[in-house]
Chains A and B, each alone.
Chain A
Amino acid sequence: MSTHFLSVESLKKVYPSANGTPNPPVFEDIHFHIDKGEFVCIIGHSGCGKTTILNVLAGLEEASAGNAFMDSREVKGPSLDRGVVFQSHALMPWMSVLGNVAFAVKSKWPDWPKDKIAAHASQYLEMVGLGHAIHKKPAELSGGMKQRVGIARAFAIQPKMLLLDEPFGALDALTRGTIQDELLKIVQATHQTVFMITHDVDEAILLADKIMLMSNGPHAKIAEIVEVTMPRSRTRAEIHHDPQYYRIRNHLVDFLVNRSKTYAGADAETFHDPKNPPLVRPGLDDELAAVVALPTQQSVPALRQVVNH
């Protein structure tokens, strides 16, 4: 066991198959750790097991082997210490927006009086810019607004860690940008520890301190950990002016397009140790050459999302 805030060791998941023949493990030998206050994104092709890892961290699913520790305690079952934002927002449609957040607040602090719960919940709804809509039902909100309620609900219980499963996957690019900005602001203010799944390379660079790259499944592994070396005070408007941005972006896209499938074979062991995935900093020029040959800067792929769509 290590001294990191969250550490994952030798995680493996095998789903039972329908007909009895053993399935190959979705992923195995997953090792990584997250420090307090870090924002970590995980990127990988569809089906490589990202959601499964997140569910194991959330305690919603059990791993077939390996452990996860948070705050030196083993993750066993769900806990109020870990707030989850679900991909499909998962708001309860029979409760108002305020009711949804208050339900979470009351779960965390059962002894609080009603008005304190309501005040606390509205404060977090205001934080995501929904102060005007607290009495609406989720069905009356747009997709982006619903997702923001989900975020407010997760933040309102002040968890030690946030787990986000493609929280903006279903949103259009414009709404997505606005909410990314909001999340960035909140995270910078609260120094929340976050683990987030995304398919959007730009989103990962904007938000993350570290980006974990997952190879394709089955037998998926953590292939590499990319450190985003740009200063943390990033904004969506200015990030494109930083030359590091394109280097990191090219590195990520190159991985997803060309390299993510090369980690499955037996010969992968010769160049890759899943227990210690290499930490790379493609944003810094000199290390760039050492890691991988990149296409030139002008040929930035036009793909915004290379995965899944």
Chain B
Amino acid sequence: MVSKFTLKAAFISLMLLLVFLGAWQLATQPRESTAVIGGDAEYAALMGKGEQKTGFPTPAMVGKSFVTYLSDPFYDKGPNDKGIGIQIAYSLGRVALGFLLATLIALPVGFVIGMSPLLYRAFDPFIQVLKPISPLAWMPLALYSLKDSDISGIFVIFICSIWPMLLNTAFGVASVRRDWINVARTLEVNPLRKAFLVILPAAAPTILTGMRISMGIAWLVIVAAEMLVGGTGIGYFVWNEWNNLALPNVIFAVVMIGVVGMFLDLFFGWLQKLVTYRE
């Protein structure tokens, strides 16, 4: 019964995709009359393939981008011409580094302030002020003080992913069931064992939720950051293709950003499931 339900949903999804592609095709279809009468073939050629009026690529053109880039994702022909796989790998590398650094700080600090209501209150105003700052607002400061665009990108990822993790860790740790703490106390469990065997597993689902949110934000931010600092990465790729006026490539990259983001989220969802317990 479930599989039938899934099948139905998949069928509707497919229909939606086809309708979307159809509408897209209709909207961007080149009109022969205009192509002939217009006569400004030169301008049309400049816009791309020179066979359409609106300038917005047709599904077929985007499809061609997909084929070209996905058939050879890892080529490297100089700084401005790298395969999509390499660009995504650069972005993922930055996200991973920034995220890892944020985790290394957010988890212990969150743990400590979650355990101590006093520190929680003391840290709270700072967190409340720092949290809503757009990570990109840090960019100038980062570029100025770190003097390296690569490290600045990593820093921006770090600063945007630290807050949800910090807050969720603190909240998760602070709201561990009193009973479990009391069990640990009556068993005279030493602090380290208590932290790792009682509090951490008890708070893990909340912490993982924070990490999942952080990763979502980090992936949003990396594209923007790479557009700013340039050099490598999927964000830079989008920017570069826009400068080349190669819209089909831009659309291709946009879809790739979505797909990678989806897999990142799926991965954290899987981790979350792993640590979730049923009471």
Interface residues of A (CB under 8 A from B): 58-60, 77-80, 82-84, 86, 88, 90, 92-94, 103-104, 107-108, 137-139, 157
Contacts and interface: CB of A to CB of B under 8 A. Distances in A.
Given A86-B179, A93-B278, A103 B197 contact: yes
Nearest to B184: A107
A94 B202 contact: yes
A107 B202 contact: no
Contact count band on B: 20 to 34
Given A84-B186, A93-B277, A139-B277, 19 more contacts: A59-B185, A60-B186, A78-B182, A78-B185, A78-B186, A79-B188, A80-B188, A82-B186, A84-B182, A84-B183, A94-B202, A103-B187, A107-B188, A108-B187, A137-B277, A137-B278, A138-B279, A139-B279, A157-B187
Interface string B148-189: 000000000000000000000000000001011011011111
Main SS at interface, chain A: loop
A139 B180 contact: no
Contacts of A60: 182, 185-186
Contacts of A103: 187, 197
Contacts of B201: 92, 94
Given A90-B180, A139-B278, A58 B186 contact: yes
A192 to B, nearest CB: 16
B212 to A, nearest CB: 19
A98 to B, nearest CB: 15
A107 B189 contact: yes
A278 B185 CA distance: 35
A183 B197 CA distance: 29
B256 interface: no
Contacts of A83: 186
Q: Which of A80, A90, A139 has the most CB of B within 10 A?
A: A90
Nearest 3 pairs of A and B residues by beta carbon: A90-B179, A139-B278, A107-B187
Contacts of B187: 78, 80, 103-104, 107-108, 157
10 contacts: A77-B185, A84-B182, A84-B183, A86-B182, A93-B278, A107-B187, A107-B188, A107-B189, A107-B193, A139-B279
Interface string B249-279: 0000000000000000000000000010111
A107 to B, nearest CB: 4
A157 B189 CA distance: 13
Contacts of B197: 103
A78 B188 contact: yes
A77 B182 CA distance: 11
Contact of B183 (A59, A86, A108, A139): A86
A270 to B, nearest CB: 40
B92 interface: no
A139 B193 CA distance: 23
Contacts of A86: 179, 182-183
B81 to A, nearest CB: 50
Contact of A94 (B179, B185, B277): B277
Contacts of B277: 93-94, 137, 139
Residue among B180, B187, B188, B197 with the highest chain A CB neighbour number at 10 A: B187
Nearest to A150: B183
Nearest to A99: B197
B134 to A, nearest CB: 37
A107 B198 CA distance: 13
Contacts of A77: 185
Given A137-B278, A139-B279, A92 B183 contact: yes
A226 B188 CA distance: 34
A121 to B, nearest CB: 13
A79 to B, nearest CB: 6
A139 B185 CA distance: 23
A142 B198 CA distance: 23
A190 B177 CA distance: 32
A56 to B, nearest CB: 13
A141 B205 CA distance: 22
A79 B189 CA distance: 10
A92 B198 contact: yes
Contacts of B188: 78-80, 107
Contacts of A107: 187-189, 193
Contacts of A82: 186
